[in-house]
Every structure is written in C-alpha cells, then in structure tokens.
Amino acid sequence: MFDPPGPRARRRTRVVTAVSLVVVGALVALAVRQFADNGQLNPDRWRPYLTWPMWRYLLIGLRATVLAAVATGVLAMAGGLLLAVTRSRIARAYVEVMRTVPVLLIIYVMLFVLPSYGLDLPLFWKLVVPLALSHAALYAGIFRAGVAAVDRGQREAGLSLGMTERQALRAVVLPQAVRNMAPSLVSQTVGLLKDTALGYVVSYTELLHSGRVLANYNHLLIQTYIVIAVVYLAVNLALSQLSRYLEVSLARTAR
Amino acid sequence: MSLLAEGFLSTVALTLLSFAGAFSLGVCVVVLRVVPVPVLRAVGTAYVETFQNVPLLVWLVLFVFGLPEAGITFPLFWTAALVISLYEAAYVAEALRSGVNSVARGQGEAARALGLTTAQSLRHVVVPQALRRVVQPVANIAIALTMATSLAGAVGVVELTRAANRINLDLAQPVLVFAGAGLCYLGLAAGIGALAGLVERRVAH
C-alpha cells in the first residue's frame, strides 16, 4: 500500500521510531516504578515461581485446562457438525440463541438450577457441558461456511462422474471444505481454550482456578496471575502459530 | 425484579462504555499495525497477540484483584469497563485490519498513480471501501462484547447475569429469571444487529 520510502520519509520514520521508543520506554518505566514503589518487584515475591513445586501445581492445572478443552472440543465439534448438516429451523434458532447468550449464564443454570431438579453433574462436566453447548453453535457456523465455500461445480462434477450424492460429499466436497476450515477451526479452538478459564467460577481446578488457590495461599496475587497469563499466552500463541502455518501451507497445496 | 432491571442497565452501560473504548483503542492499534514504522508495528502486533491469547477472565482477575496490591485502584465498574475495552480492542483492530487488507491493492496504487498522497489515498479511496466491509464484523464483535460483559459478574459487578443468579437464589424461580435474562441478551444482540444494518446502509452510499 505504501511506496518505498524516499529520503524524507526515511528521516520521518527515524524520528517517529525515536519518539515512540521514548514513549514506550517511559510507559514501561512508569509501570516498573509503580510496581517497585509497592514492593511488587521484590525478588522474594517472585522467587516462588522459580521453584518446581509451584510449577508442578500450575502444570497440573494446565493439564486440567487441556483436558476440559479437549472434551469440550470433541463434544462441540460433533454438535456443530450435527447442527450444520441438519439445517432445520430448530438448528438455526439454536445457533442464533447461543451466539448471543453468555456461557456464564448457562454455567449458572448448571450450577444453581439443575441440581434442584436432580441433575447434579461432577464439576468437570458442569464446566464442559455449558461450554460445549455454546461452542457447538460457533463450530456449526464454521462448518457451514466451509462447505458453502466449496464451488458448487465441484459437487456437480462429482455427480456427473457417476458418484452418488454421498460419495461426492465425502470424496470431493469435504476434503476441500476441511482445507478451507482448518485455520478457523484452530483459532476457534483457541477461543475455547480461553473459555475454560470459567473453571474459576465453577471451582474446577483448571489453570486459572489453580492460580486463585495458590494466590489465596501465598498472597502473591500479582505475581501469580501474571505467571498464569504468561502460561495462557504461551499455549495459545503456539496454537495461533499452528493456525497461521496451516493457513499458509494449505493455501500453497491448494494451487 | 428491580434488581434485574438494575442488572440490565448495568450490562447496557458496560456494553456501551466498553464498545466506545474498544473501538477508539482498536482504531489506534490498527493505525500502529499499518504505519510503515517497524517499532510501532511491533507494538501493535504485541498488543493484539497479548490480549487475544489470554482469557478475558484472567485480565479481569489480574486488574480487579491484582493491581490494588500495586497501589492502582479504580472503582470496580470502571475497572471492568477498562479491561473489556482493552481486550476487545484487539479484536476490533483485527477486524479493521482485515477490512483494509480486503481492499484490492490496485485501488491504493491507482490512487497513488493519480498523484494523491498516501494520506489522501487512504482517506478518499481505501478507508471508505474498507468501512463498508467492516460493519458486519464489528457488529459481531459488539455482540460478543455484550456476552463478555457477563464475565464482569464473575469478579463482582452486579450486571445482568449476576443479578439473575442472585434473584434466583432469593426467589427460587429459575426458569422465569434465567429465561428473562437470556431474552434480555437476545434483545440486546437484536438491537446491535438492527443498528449495524442502519449503519451499513449509511456507509454504502
């Protein structure tokens, strides 16, 4: 979109770079001073997170997060596929409603309403079921768009080669659809992994709730939650990177 | 019932405030991401990646319970609005950026070939076309943001979801209360959708 910079633009770039480095530096310095003034940078407050028992506890929490995410992902994808292929009015209404009702509301129903009607699931499922109900609608949208993005001629070509409807779907349309969908499926899964943090509300000891338990015990609130944020960041960045890699490599093989 | 109304108003206020914040901040971030200055681009990218890859609830907990330890305290409601703004701004920035990228390269090049400056070609050629394509994605973000305000309830703000839960604990009329809250969210989303339709017609000359 931009022309290669001439001498004047290069000079301007240098000036803006210098100014923005100063601004960013000043902001960081301000934050560091605020933390330091309140003793939050005291090494004693950070050292616990250099020890193995702390990390072991957090990694157990991370494992629970991954477990919940995998269970939710499997259920939600199956549900999403079902919603996408039935295309009935009920399925469409379900997708619309779930796109606008917060998961937390469903979780509260799960936690405080259903037990009095005799449905009292284990904590793990109290987190997973609402998440799956909600994310199924999101996956359905991705599946539908993925199949719709495959040119109609592809299916027709399959049929004209003598394939049955089902064969054309399985051998021609779906492989191309999956290729289209792979990146958005992965990035949707990042969203799902982030939503498992609602385990905090359910008291299911995934990563964030583990952090809360730790913070209540060692009173290192800022340190604990920053460490937790960094762990989420690392895991999700890896997933996002995978999504970007899929996007690029699939775009190449599709040619 | 008045608690439910209070919660509803609180959700609406949170949504409006956070959306205003997220949109303004998102515009700033997307500017950072497209300017031809590497440092600023890096800042913009780091912002988007950091906020998109950490759950909103973690940010809320960190800001609401963590930052007071470092001597930074705001009223609860404003902290929640700030955090939701910061978080959703990353999504707004991405939506705006893909809108700008979706305008064919040739459009910008043609404008430059006609002798418009970079700023002029952005203002008169690229941005007007991009604007039309971002209305729907931004509306979807606004709906997601409405849902996200429910997480403020998890850290103590009495908004619709928390209000519904509290009323239910008192009244024990779960079906009525939760269906009512759900309908409120549906209504808000429908309102945003209708508004987006209006805006879309306005920008699509």
Q: What is the ipTM of this complex?
A: 0.89
Amino acid found at A28: V
Alpha-carbon separation of residue A45 from A24, A33, A35, A192, A214 (angstroms): 26, 16, 12, 32, 13
pLDDT tens sequence for chain A (255 residues)? 566 778 888 888 888 889 989 999 999 999 999 888 888 888 888 888 888 988 999 999 999 999 999 999 999 999 998 998 887 899 999 998 998 999 999 999 999 888 888 888 899 999 999 999 999 999 998 988 888 888 889 989 999 999 998 888 888 888 888 888 888 888 888 999 999 999 999 999 999 999 999 999 888 899 999 999 999 999 999 988 887 888 788 777 655
Overall number of domains in chain B: 1
pLDDT below 50 — which residues of chain B? none
Residue B52 burial (10 A CB sphere; 0-12, 13-18, 19+):
buried
The domain that holds B122 is classified in CATH as 1.10.3720.10
Structure tokens at B148: 């996200």
| Chain A residues within 8 A of B62 when measuring between CB atoms | 222, 225-226, 229
pLDDT, position A254: 59
pLDDT, position B194: 94
- Are the beta carbons of B53 and A197 separated by less than 8 Å? no
Task: Concatenate the DSSP letters of all residues of B129-194 into one string.
Answer: HHHHHHHHHHHHHHHHHHHHTHHHHHTT---HHHHHHHHHHHH--HHHHHHHHHHHHHHHHHHHHH
Angstroms from B37 CA to nearest CA on chain A: 6
Please name the residues between 54 and 73 in chain A that touch chain B, using a CB distance below 8 Å.
none
pLDDT, position B148: 94
**Which of B14, B18, B39 is the best residue to mutate to test the A interface, defined by the most A CB atoms within 10 Å of its own CB?**
B39
Angstroms from B32 CA to nearest CA on chain A: 11
pLDDT, position A112: 87
What range defines the domain where residue B108 resides? 2-203
Give me the residue from A34, A228, A232 closest to B72, CB to CB.
Answer: A34
Alpha carbon A100 to its chain centroid, in Å, reads: 18
Phi, psi of B169 (to 5 degrees): -65, -30
Chain A: residue nearest B51 by CA?
A233
Best CA proximity match to A2, nearest among B120, B112, B43: B112
Alpha-carbon separation of residue A240 from A52, A200, B57, B144 (angstroms): 28, 24, 19, 20
Pair B69, A37: CB distance under 8 Å: no
Top-tier CATH class for A51-254: mainly alpha
Angstroms from A54 CA to nearest CA on chain B: 18
The answer to whether residue A168 neighbours chain B at the CB level (below 8 Å) is no
The answer to whether residue A37 neighbours chain B at the CB level (below 8 Å) is yes
Amino acid found at B42: A
| Chain B residues within 8 A of A24 when measuring between CB atoms | 39, 43
**Which of A35, A104, A228 is the best residue to mutate to test the B interface, defined by the most B CB atoms within 10 Å of its own CB?**
A104
| Chain A residues within 8 A of B188 when measuring between CB atoms | 100
* Packing angle, helices B174-203 and B160-171, rounded to 10: 160
Q: What angle do CA B27, B28, B32 make, to 5 degrees?
A: 115
pLDDT, position A197: 95
Say what the pTM is.
0.89
pLDDT, position B1: 65
- Are the beta carbons of A9 and B36 separated by less than 8 Å? yes
HSE value, Cβ hemisphere, 13 Å, CA-based, for B116: 18
Chain A: residue nearest B41 by CA?
A17
Best CA proximity match to A140, nearest among A97, A101, A171, A105: A97
